[in-house]
Chain A
Amino acid sequence: MIPLEWMPPLMFGGLIVIMLIGYPVAFSLSALGLMFGFLSIYLGFFNFNFLQAIPGRIFGSILSNELLLAIPFFTFMGAILEKCGLAEDMLDSMGQLFGPVRGGIGYSVIIVGFILGAITGTVAAQVIAMALISLPVMMRYKYNMRYATGVLAASGTITQLVPPSLVLVVLADQLGRSVGDMYLGAWGPSLLQIALFMLFTFLVSVVKPNWVPAIPRDELSLRGWELWKKCLWGIIPAAVLIFLVLGTLLLGLATPTEGGAMGSIGAIVLAAIRHPSLGKPGKRIALIGLIAAGVAAIIGVWAFKSVPFKVAIAVLYLVVAYLCIRAAAIPDLRKLIVAAYEATMRLTAMVIFILIGSTCFSIVFQGVDGGRWLEHLLTSLPGGAWGFLIFVNVFVFFIAFFLDFFEIVFIIVPLLAPIAKTLLTPIVGEDAALIWFGVMLCVNLQTSFMHPPFGFALFYLRGVAPKEVKSSDIYWGAIPWVFLQLILVALVVAFPKQVTMFLDTPVAYDLDKVKIEVPAIGEPEIPTPGQGAPAKSGDPLQDLLNKQEETDEKAGKALEDAFKK
């Protein structure tokens, strides 16, 4: 007879063993959960009806979770952007802009990494695209190989932290916070990260100038206006995509999921516009769309939703639809899109099945009081909340050698969330506690892409780097950047203000609107946002509106304004 207190540690041990076997994680986890479920039924800890919770959870909080739809959309978008040449153009022009400075190509890689990161959220796309362009350039100008590979891998992982990162979406879902707040919280650390990377590059250029030589000016192919034109040609489409994905969320026009979908369509349109076989008439139509967008923006300032505005927007939408159809008709673009959504389908099924497996595990784990066991274990650590944070970060850092971020977020985070909430609330307040915790984990998880020898970023880099680049250079090159990342983790732990200060701004009120659009658990009630404000009761948006006005006149006003837009 096994006493109840033994079950959680047994399950936890079983988790480690069963994952190490190497059978697909999703099915190992569900099998483990169910095995312990039957054992518990046999030992009388709960009865068979308890397991009925499993299909309910699979349906209620996984399949019908609108937020998880963001996973395929962002993946799809990343897969298209990777191949549409945007990264190439930006790197080429930025490289020429910064090239004459010592370490210039390093700076350009970091900046482009940040911009690409603000468009989409997949590391693979970024590392591959940037390495293909910048690595040969850095090799030609005799950059130190370790610095070159390190800066590429590190800049590729920036996308994990910069909104609209997929990690933040998944973390928000598992922590039960709104994605908008999570994004706001991540801005501080992601800017700090860029600063750290640039500072490191600067220090290298001071201490070891011959590691990061400047490009002689007369070797640049573009100068003056030509160069600026090329820079803009890369940056303007990037800005449009950033607006589609992030801007619409911040303005309360779309949910994060819809932002991802619009970003995907935007990426297809972008790929079509940039494709040479679009031809003159196609380009002209694209220009009409651009003009219509401009006109709509101008009319929108004075007469929002007037008839001319709607006409201009309708023209724009027709152009978008036309370009999508053209994209499907161009053979190699079509091939690209098909390959992108096929890969996206398999990745989505794989990721969601990890979540299904971990749900089986965690239902049974909670059923045998595992939550309380873990809480007892972690709250009795020396140092209270700080001890907990240090322990969790060290634990996640090491476990990230073996597990991907999806596995960590789905398996570990739900177990830690309630404890984190209890312990961290006294430090930063209840609302910010889990945001802070989530952003911290996100920064920490970035290192999992750079750990030699399993890190994904290094793995992709190895895949596209020329043969002259030694694997040992890639591995050693990554190490200083892993340390920079750890410094950033320490900074986030020590100064929660950088996360929470963005949350205190009034913008957060607009985001409450988004919060209720994304029900995390249970039968989804999907409200229809943006339909004006019907005064009928029972509408959750209206309820929120009323509540806001009761509690905070000003905030309610702000929400209403945002809502009426």
Chain B
Amino acid sequence: MRALLTLSRAIDALNERLGRVANWMILIACVISAANAMIRYAFDISSNAWLEIQWYLFAGVVMLGASYTLQRNEHVRVDILYTQLPERGKEWLDLVGTAVFLIPSCLLIGWLSWPFFYESWHIQEHSGNAGGLLRWPVKILVPVGFALLALQGVSEIIKRAAALRGYVRLESHYERPVQ
């Protein structure tokens, strides 16, 4: 169990780092988007690369940030029944849900999206727009993101199992995300 918990901590640390990268991507995308609009308006300078980098960053936010969001238990749930469950019930539900829903579907989607990236990499696909960017760096985010999510799923399972067997106490507090 101790080895597994170490593994779980390592996964958590990795995804937390990537979460921090995703945080920065939000800020950078925002600055680029605003600056791009302002400069285009006044000086007629614009390029497709600056437009494309915005959604590259957006894809990065989503694919790299989702696993950290899972770690923080901030993916929204329908919580009518969930909030009624006792602590152990919640831990069981998360354990089974992660094993049955999250990990298989993430692995499958990740696997389905691999050829999608590989092809783009193989032919060095560029964007169709003039001055557009190379495509594979953003396409690889899809399989990587889903793999990271599955990995975070493993970590969550370890933590829940350890909590259920009394090795650790878990702060599995859930609050509906603010919007």
Binding site for B on A (CB under 8 A): 19-28, 30-31, 34, 51-52, 54-56, 58-59, 62-66, 68-69, 72-73, 75-76, 122-124, 248, 253-255, 257-262, 264-265, 305, 309-310, 313-314, 317, 337-338, 341-350, 352-354, 360, 402-404, 406-407, 454, 456, 459-460, 523-526, 528-532
Contacts and interface: CB of A to CB of B under 8 A. Distances in A.
B78 A19 contact: yes
Nearest to B24: A341
B75 A261 contact: no
Interface of B: 19, 22-23, 25-27, 29-34, 36-44, 46-48, 51-52, 54-55, 58-59, 61-63, 65-66, 68-70, 72, 74-82, 85, 93-94, 97, 100-102, 104-106, 108-109, 112-113, 116, 128-129, 138-139, 141-142, 176-179
Nearest to B104: A31
B49 to A, nearest CB: 10
A529 B74 contact: no
Given A59-B116, A69-B58, A122-B179, A345 B93 contact: no
A261 B32 CA distance: 8
The B contact surface, by secondary structure, is: helix
Given A25-B78, A26-B76, A262-B33, 9 more contacts: A20-B78, A27-B106, A58-B109, A63-B58, A66-B51, A123-B179, A350-B177, A406-B179, A456-B179
A343 B178 CA distance: 9
A310 B43 CA distance: 7
Contact of A341 (B26, B76, B105, B108): B26
A52 B112 contact: yes
Chain B CB count within 10 A is highest, among A62, A253, A345, for A345
A59 B139 contact: yes
A55 B58 contact: no
Contact of B69 (A30, A73, A310, A346): A346
Given A406-B179, A532-B44, A345 B61 contact: yes
Nearest to B114: A55
A347 B37 contact: no
A341 to B, nearest CB: 5
B50 to A, nearest CB: 9
A317 B40 contact: no
Nearest to A313: B42
A72 B29 contact: yes
Contact of B26 (A30, A76, A352): A76
A407 to B, nearest CB: 7
A346 B176 CA distance: 12
Contacts of B63: 63
Nearest to B94: A23
Given A55-B112, A124-B178, A258-B36, A253 B30 contact: no
Contacts of A28: 97, 101
Given A404-B179, A407-B76, A23 B97 contact: yes
Nearest to A352: B62
A1 to B, nearest CB: 25
Given A30-B105, A341-B26, A262 B112 contact: no
A346 B72 contact: yes
8 contacts: A22-B77, A30-B106, A72-B29, A261-B37, A310-B43, A345-B69, A346-B74, A348-B58
A124 B66 CA distance: 22
Contacts of A22: 77-82, 85, 93
Given A345-B65, A531-B40, A66 B78 contact: no
A504 to B, nearest CB: 28
Nearest to A456: B179
Contacts of A25: 75-78
A350 B69 contact: yes
Nearest to A268: B30
Nearest to A320: B38
A264 B81 contact: no
A58 B66 CA distance: 14
B41 A73 contact: no
A342 B109 contact: no
A452 to B, nearest CB: 14
B149 to A, nearest CB: 8
A447 to B, nearest CB: 15
B142 A310 contact: no
A69 B100 contact: no
A455 to B, nearest CB: 11
A66 B179 contact: no
B65 A349 contact: yes
Nearest to A526: B51
Given A23-B94, A404-B179, A56 B116 contact: yes
Nearest to A321: B35
